A and B are shown apart, each in its own frame.
Chain A
Amino acid sequence: MKVYEALANAFVKEGVTTIFGLMGNGNMYWWHTLDQRPDVAVHETRHEGTALTMAEGWARATGQPGICTVTQGPGLTQLGTSLTVAVRAKIPMVVFAGDTALSEHDSVQQLDQQKFVDATGAGFVPLWNAAGTDDAVRQAFYQARVESRPIVLNAPMDVQQQTYDGEGDEYAPSTTLLPGLQRVQPDPDRLRDALRVIAESRKPVVVAGLGAAKADSGEAVKKLADRIGALIATTLPMKGWLGDTEYHVGISGLYATKTAIELFAEADCVIGVGASLNHYTTEHGYIFPNARYVQIDLRPSIVMGNGKRADFYVQGDAKLSLEVIEQQLAQQGVSSTGYRTAEVRGMLAEYDPDPREFEIEAGTVDPRRAATILDDALPAEVGVIHGTGHCSGITNVFMKKTRALTWPINTFGCIGQAVPTAIGAAVALNGAPLAVMDGDAGTLMHISELDTAARLGIKLLIAVFNDEALGAEYQKFVSKGMETRASAIATPNLGKVAQALGCRGKLATTLDEVQAGVDEFLAGDGPMLLDIRVSRNVRSVAYSRLWFGEDV
């Protein structure tokens, strides 16, 4: 057996079933071995960066390590942005990367691959010789699972061709090294302090982050919030979590509603649950000017977005900690109305996220109305992924339905990630429909992946909020009274581009056409792109606050 075959075997033993990659001579033999197996699907993409992002989307949807493969040198360097995104998003992944032969230092594709990977924040496991094959794969998967980040397994071509001394049946996967999940009990002394502040609070807000869902603490959050009369808010990545709960005010941060911000100003206690309470969530602390902070998290310490530690920090499992707090409050007979009054309920019910009126240019639609049509037409079981750009400030605010899956993709602040993330997620969803909302520049950056989407046959709606501009920059130019031409770039009819690449495609210049487009997507099969021409005059609430100082 060759080393590349043993490597392939070890990946299978790690439970790998789905791989995204772009073939080159550094990964082709390993790829070929896996492709022979009926239980493994290796999906060829049109760019290495998108392969990694699809694997990231797949990993987000399944909770399993996402697998990507690239060839050496230029194959690896194409990963720069995607790898950094996956690191920031803390997604467990293993990247099988070829490398030039150890014996060959003058290859045109030679690169110090570790230096490149180090710069992204991903881990790096080198394979030096045949004897280290099993250990290297196990190490890569172990680190990916434990550190929850991408790990690059670096396999030089000559080592891959060496003879592996074994049959491959003795490989023990990394999961055998894991002790299994443990729930970390909070320190009783810390709990007592936190309890006192929570009991004293008249206006508490619970802010839930990714850690809250990871700990499966939804019911515990609701129960505590009920007892103390708290508002429930989430961080942006947790948009929609517990969304059907009464007194849920949506996102905390720049995407918060005006009503939420007014209510937050009265808060005297913020309880962060599995949320770092960074400067986005707390607006550097300014969104909660009068609150003391209780923070429950697994990390040993956290500096919040206001540059301080929480007044009362509890290290422990979110669910356990919340349950103990709620039980002890119950024993003490603490129960408070807090925010839960008819007046607040009325404020939340009557809320209009953006009552402003704008002049809509001919041949375009109001993107807020388009987002609402999409939200209404797509049933709750259809997941929605939001991209990054000016349009995401509109889709995140106007698509309010609580869904099976809601992912705002904004971990590195870059455009171009949402569509490949959605393609990978759609593969994981195994035929269930999915939709992604992104801008024209973000979609066009990797438009070639519509070919991959078509080959995969996934049921994915790509709704493009097309303002024919780099919308964020366009709005900033407007705010400064500058000429906008440099930011405005005409696009072709993206519906026709999608058709040429094997997908369904439609152009929508009226709200009726938006509705018809969604209906057509739902009724048919396979991927579809809906090119929605949107008005540039409709400025998102977030940008209106940031760049125009508007009180909206």
Chain B
Amino acid sequence: MIEIRERFDVPASPERVWSILSDPEAVVGCVPGASIVGREEDGTLDTSVAVKFGPTRVTFRAKALLDLDEAARTGTISAQGKDSIGGTRMRSTARFGVTPGPGGQGSHVAIDGTVEVQGRLASLIEGGASVVVKKMAGDFAERLAARCSVP
């Protein structure tokens, strides 16, 4: 089990940050290598995520569901799926929340989550997966900040 814990400040209002985080298309757009390939009636998204473990690229197809609490500006994204070769399953949940930034300036974003990888790939990527996931979380934060700064 890989844990995600990201804390970062964004130079944009909480309303602006929340408008991105509550938009599935925008959230997926902030995940490197991810895209939405379909949408089901209950709101579940079919997503595709390409991840590079070392030089080896693996593409996951995952169903993702976004559960939002508008009033509290918190949400949960849960995703589960398998890779295109079919030997590996992944399951991930992440809670996120937006609060006013330090001194009332901008916003503060907190993300806490877990990623589980099971199956053939697990032994191949060993400890490296946690490094890859942490880097993805960092990239996500950067992309989110960049996106929020565009009015």
Provide the residues of chain B in CB contact with A261, threshold 8 Å.
55-56
Residue from the list A262, A284, A547 in contact with B121, Cβ < 8 A: A284
- Asked if B131 CB lies within 8 Å of chain A CBs, one says yes
Closest to B87 in A: A284
Contact A286 to B126, CB < 8 A, known contacts A279-B120, A548-B131, A549-B131: no
**Residue contact B57 to A289, C-beta cutoff 8 Å:** yes
- B128 partner, pick from A262, A306, A545, beta carbons under 8 A: A545
Known: A262-B55, A289-B85, A306-B85. A547 touches B120 (CB 8 A): no
Taken residue by residue from 135 to 176, chain A's Cβ proximity to chain B (1 for < 8 Å, 0 otherwise) reads as 000000000000000000000000000000000000000000
A284 touches B120 (CB 8 A): yes
Instruction: Given the known inter-chain contacts A285-B120, A546-B127, please indicate yes or no for A552 contacting B54, CB distance below 8 A.
Output: yes
On whether the beta carbons of B128 and A546 are closer than 8 Å, the reply is: yes
Looking at chain A, what size class is its interface with the partner chain?
A: 20 to 34
Contact B54 A545 (CB under 8 A): yes
Given contacts A279-B120, A549-B135, contact A286 B56 (CB under 8 A): yes
CA distance A310 to B14 in the complex (A): 54
Interface 1/0s, chain A 516-552, versus B by CB < 8 A?
0000000000000000000000000000111111111
Inter-chain contacts of B132 with A (CB < 8 A): 549
Chain B residue nearest to A547 in the complex (CB)? B127
B84: which of A289, A480, A552 is its contact (CB, 8 Å)? A289
Interface hits, B37-91 → A, CB 8 Å = 52-59, 84-85, 87
- Structural contact, B55 and A286, CB atoms closer than 8 A: no
Q: Decide: A549 near B85, CB < 8 A? Known: A261-B56, A284-B124.
A: no
B126, A283: Cβ atoms closer than 8 Å: no
A273-301 contact mask (Cβ, 8 Å, vs B): 1 or 0: 00000010001111101000000000000
In contact, A306 and B120 (Cβ under 8 angstroms): yes
- Decide: B129 and A549 in contact? CB cutoff 8 A: yes
Q: Cβ of A548 and Cβ of B55 under 8 Å apart? A: no
Tally inter-chain residue pairs, CB-CB below 8 A. 78
Q: Is the CB of B87 within 8 A of A548?
A: no
Contact A548/B128 with A286-B56, A286-B58, A287-B56 known, Cβ cut-off 8 Å: yes
Complex: A546 Cα to B130 Cα, angstroms: 11
The residue that B85 contacts in the complex, of A286, A546, A551, with Cβ under 8 A, is A286
Q: Does A63 contact B (CB under 8 A)?
A: no
With an 8 A cutoff between CB atoms, is A33 at the interface? no
Once bound together, how far apart are the Cα atoms of A287 and B85, in whole Å?
Answer: 11
Most buried by A among B54, B57, B121, B125: B54
One digit per residue, 1 when the CB lies within 8 angstroms of any chain B CB and 0 when it does not, for chain A 302-343 equals: 000011000000000000000000000000000000000000
Query: Does A479 sit at the interface, judged by CB under 8 A?
Result: yes
B55 touches A547 (CB 8 A): no
A286: B residues at CB distance < 8 A: 56, 58, 85, 87, 120-121, 124
* Least distance between A85 CB and chain B CB atoms (Å): 21
Docked CA distance A307–B120 (Å): 9
B52's nearest neighbour on chain A, judged by CB, is A551
B123 / chain A contacts, CB cutoff of 8 Å? 279, 284
Residue of A nearest to B85 (CB): A285
Nearest-neighbour CB distance to chain A for B123, whole angstroms, equals 8
Measured between alpha carbons, how far is A552 from B56 in the docked complex, in Å? Answer: 10
The answer to whether A344 has its CB under 8 Å from any CB of chain B is no
A-B contact pairs, 13 of them (CB 8 A): A254-B124, A283-B124, A284-B87, A284-B120, A284-B124, A286-B85, A289-B85, A479-B128, A479-B131, A546-B128, A547-B128, A550-B131, A552-B55
**Top 10 closest A-B pairs, CB basis?**
A545-B54, A549-B128, A549-B131, A284-B120, A549-B132, A547-B127, A261-B55, A546-B126, A258-B55, A479-B127
Given contacts A307-B87, A549-B128, A550-B131, 13 further A-B contacts (CB under 8 A): A254-B124, A261-B55, A261-B56, A262-B55, A284-B124, A285-B85, A286-B87, A286-B121, A289-B85, A306-B87, A306-B120, A549-B132, A549-B135
Chain A interface (Cβ within 8 Å of chain B)? 254, 258, 261-262, 265, 279, 283-287, 289, 306-307, 476, 479-480, 544-552
